Amino acid sequence: MSRKAALDLVSFRPIDRPSHPFFVQAEAVMTRLSPPSGRDLYVDRRAFPNWMGPCLVTQQLLPGWSPYPSTVGGICLKGIVAYDSVHGSTKAVAEAIAEEIGSEGHEVRLIAVKQWAKGPLEGDFLFIGSPTRGGKMTDETKGFIESLDAVFWKGKRVVTFDTVGPLSKDAEKRKRTLASLNDKNAASRMKEVCEQRGIKVDRVMHFAVVGMWGPIAPDAPQLAKEQTRGFLLDMK
């Protein structure tokens, strides 16, 4: 379907409440379709009695538009999940996080920092992960953080996460241990390094491994997805 044909699906006209969320959504669509001339076209909110209406229609206009409630104004965001992994546990958590971001309708890029060629890296939000080694992050993870464009990421949402262990095979004991961790772990150290560079960290997340070299705790991938979902909902 051509853009013109898709636009004909809906009647656009000015509305009397510019602060209304439907106005904001419509402005975002028009700005992305034909900036800047499209800024004077807005969806009449009476044509869409519920939140999903504009999103379902505009999904036909833009491949990047998403009807998922967790998106900001219905717009697909770009998330980056960067991680280092030694025995595969942190990689498994990173993959779970990336999967959840994608399932919520956002674009996601998964980066193994050991294989990343340093260069410009931009997105709407960033997850950085490392195993905890001697109470710290890996050198590769620290190098990745130090290579970030601090000016760009200063105003973005950033999350640090780690894997820690070995912890108990009992789920309740693991939960209590993770909740009582001090700052001697990779996620907290990453937060410190980020904030020393002026990059504010929105939250830290910890996930358990049940052996000295793994494996990841069986509930860790699901917990990673749930916490990621909560982060995305907070961005609404």
Phi, psi of 111 (to 5 degrees): -125, 125
pTM value surpassing 0.75: no
- Please indicate, yes or no, if residue 72 is contained in any of the structural domains: no
Q: Do 152 and 44 belong to one domain? A: no
Q: Do 90 and 128 belong to one domain? A: yes
- Please indicate, yes or no, if residue 142 is contained in any of the structural domains: yes
Which band of pLDDT confidence, cut at 50, 70 and 90, is reported for residue 75?
low
- Number of compact structural domains in the chain: 2
- Please indicate, yes or no, if residue 145 is contained in any of the structural domains: yes
- The CATH number of residue 162's host domain is 3.40.50.360
pLDDT at 19 over 50: no
Q: Do 36 and 148 belong to one domain? A: no
- Please indicate, yes or no, if residue 70 is contained in any of the structural domains: no
* Phi-psi region at 211: left, alpha or beta (left = phi > 0; alpha = psi -120 to 50): beta
Shortest CA distance to 137 belongs to which of 149, 125, 129? 129
Within 8 A by CB and 6+ apart from 132, the residues are: 162, 163, 164, 185, 186, 187
Q: Which residue has the higher pLDDT, 52 or 160?
A: 160
- Please indicate, yes or no, if residue 47 is contained in any of the structural domains: yes
Q: Do 94 and 169 belong to one domain? A: yes
Residue 118: what pLDDT?
Answer: 78
Domain that holds residue 8: 3-58
Q: Do 28 and 142 belong to one domain? A: no
Range of weakest confidence among 7-16, 128-137, 159-168, 225-234:
7-16
Q: Do 207 and 90 belong to one domain? A: yes
pLDDT at 122 over 50: yes
Q: What is the pLDDT of residues 162-208, one digit of tens each?
A: 999 999 999 999 999 999 999 999 999 999 999 999 999 999 999 99
Q: Do 172 and 224 belong to one domain? A: yes
Q: Do 53 and 139 belong to one domain? A: no
pLDDT at 220 over 60: yes
pLDDT at 72 over 80: no
Q: Do 54 and 83 belong to one domain? A: no
- Please indicate, yes or no, if residue 10 is contained in any of the structural domains: yes
- Please indicate, yes or no, if residue 73 is contained in any of the structural domains: no
- Please indicate, yes or no, if residue 25 is contained in any of the structural domains: yes
Which band of pLDDT confidence, cut at 50, 70 and 90, is reported for residue 212?
confident
Written as six digits, the tokens of 27 are 């402005």
